[in-house]
């Protein structure tokens, strides 16, 4: 049985339906390493392969559990409960993905633990691990911490830059007593195959988004062209979605996807509070808008006041020339 360091941070890794480690693992382990010793928990998937990849991403110890793949999130909650009582961590980190949020909330409710949702960073003070959040459309930064016990913190995808050093992890199989609690059962899993070769919006490092300023679905192709030159994911404002230029899955903002990329390019987007809510934590924001008073310029690191149909083709040509 592994000795768990006193500063252990238990990290629940998301496993994809095809059994691989989710992309969020690198940042979860990076965040954990910045405040303690990362102890990873993986439920399902090919245990040896997952443990070795988790080690490459900085896990000092990897706990693996088989899990019943016909039950929705209950095996993860049971495994996390078993792991937490074994490891006695200073904090528990999970991805703010649909699965991660679900497991974190069920675990917190069951174990009467504090839940700090959608953090964009973590740190440590004299009393323990603190979660940092960007709220009200990024207008305020707030910190949350538990008054007692280890906090359960879900981490916004794409928000953490820190990466942990690779290690050769100790690997252990976790024995998980089944709680027998209610669970939805999974009848079938069908992986949505995107025809696009572009990165997925959630968790992308670069995003190019278009707004109502594009004027039509056909003209929205310009957003996609710039995204392809930059190797970026494509996003949109709600106005562009409501006008039918692109599907709802592209929507960035309060009622869409939250992104925290290294680069966010906003084309023909005014910068309404609800849009900013989903992208204000981007590291570098570039805006192109013909209205110099558009609120997007208040948060942009670089802004071009001009007609996007003139500026963007020139930008694409310049980027392509640089590549050649």
**In the complex, which residues of this chain contact ligand FAD (CB under 6 A)?**
211-213, 237-240, 251-256, 268-270, 272, 274-275, 278, 288-291, 294, 307-309
What angle do helix axes 221-230 and 308-323 make, rounded to 10 degrees? Answer: 30
DSSP 277: T
Nearer to ligand FAD, 79 or 246 (CB): 246
Shortest approach of ligand FAD to residue 28 CB, angstroms? Answer: 25
Contact at 8 Å (CB) between 31 and 100?
no
Nearer to ligand FAD, 60 or 252 (CB): 252
Shortest approach of ligand FAD to residue 102 CB, angstroms? Answer: 22
Nearer to ligand FAD, 153 or 226 (CB): 226
Shortest approach of ligand FAD to residue 49 CB, angstroms? Answer: 37
Nearer to ligand FAD, 141 or 248 (CB): 248
CA 307 – CA 290 distance, rounded (Å): 5
Shortest approach of ligand FAD to residue 186 CB, angstroms? Answer: 29
CA 163 – CA 49 distance, rounded (Å): 20
Nearer to ligand FAD, 176 or 312 (CB): 312
DSSP of 203-272: T-SEEEEE-GGG-STTTTHHHHHHHHHHT-EEEE-HHHHHTTSS-GGGBBSTTSB----SEEEEES----
Phi first, then psi: give them for residue 265, nearest 5 degrees. -110, 120
Shortest approach of ligand FAD to residue 257 CB, angstroms? Answer: 8
CA 114 – CA 137 distance, rounded (Å): 23
Nearer to ligand FAD, 190 or 293 (CB): 293
Shortest approach of ligand FAD to residue 134 CB, angstroms? Answer: 15
Q: For residue 111, give the nearest of 83, 131, 135, 69 by alpha carbon.
A: 83
């Amino acid at each position: 049985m592994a000795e768990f360091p006193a500063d252990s941070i238990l990290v629940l890794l998301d496993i994809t339906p095809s059994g691989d480690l989710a992309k969020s693992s690198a940042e979860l382990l990076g965040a954990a390493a910045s405040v303690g010793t990362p102890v990873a928990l993986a439920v399902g998937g090919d245990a040896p392969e997952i443990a070795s990849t988790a080690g490459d991403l900085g896990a000092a110890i990897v706990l693996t559990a088989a899990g019943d793949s016909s039950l929705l999130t209950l095996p993860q909650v049971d495994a996390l409960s078993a792991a937490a009582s074994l490891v006695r961590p200073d904090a528990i980190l999970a991805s703010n993905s649909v699965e991660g949020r679900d497991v974190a909330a069920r675990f917190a409710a069951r174990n009467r633990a504090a839940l700090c949702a959608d953090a964009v960073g973590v740190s440590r003070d004299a009393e323990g691990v603190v979660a940092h959040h960007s709220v009200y459309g990024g207008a305020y930064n707030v910190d949350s911490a538990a008054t007692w016990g280890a906090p359960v913190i879900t981490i916004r995808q794409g928000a953490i830059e820190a990466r942990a050093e690779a290690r050769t992890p100790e690997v252990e199989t976790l024995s998980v007593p089944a709680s027998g609690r209610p669970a939805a059962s999974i009848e079938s899993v069908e992986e949505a195959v995107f025809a696009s070769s572009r990165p997925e919006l959630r968790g992308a490092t670069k995003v190019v988004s278009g707004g109502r300023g594009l004027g039509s679905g056909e003209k929205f192709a310009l957003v996609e062209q710039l995204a392809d030159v930059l190797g970026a994911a494509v996003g949109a404002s709600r106005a562009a979605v409501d006008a039918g230029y692109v599907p709802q899955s592209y929507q960035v903002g309060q009622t869409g996807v939250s992104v925290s990329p290294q680069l966010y390019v906003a084309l023909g987007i005014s910068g309404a509070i609800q849009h900013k809510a989903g992208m204000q934590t981007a590291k570098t924001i570039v805006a192109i808008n013909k209205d110099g008073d558009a609120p997007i310029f208040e948060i942009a690191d670089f802004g071009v006041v001009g007609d996007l149909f003139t500026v963007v083709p020139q930008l694409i040509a310049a980027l392509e020339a640089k590549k050649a």
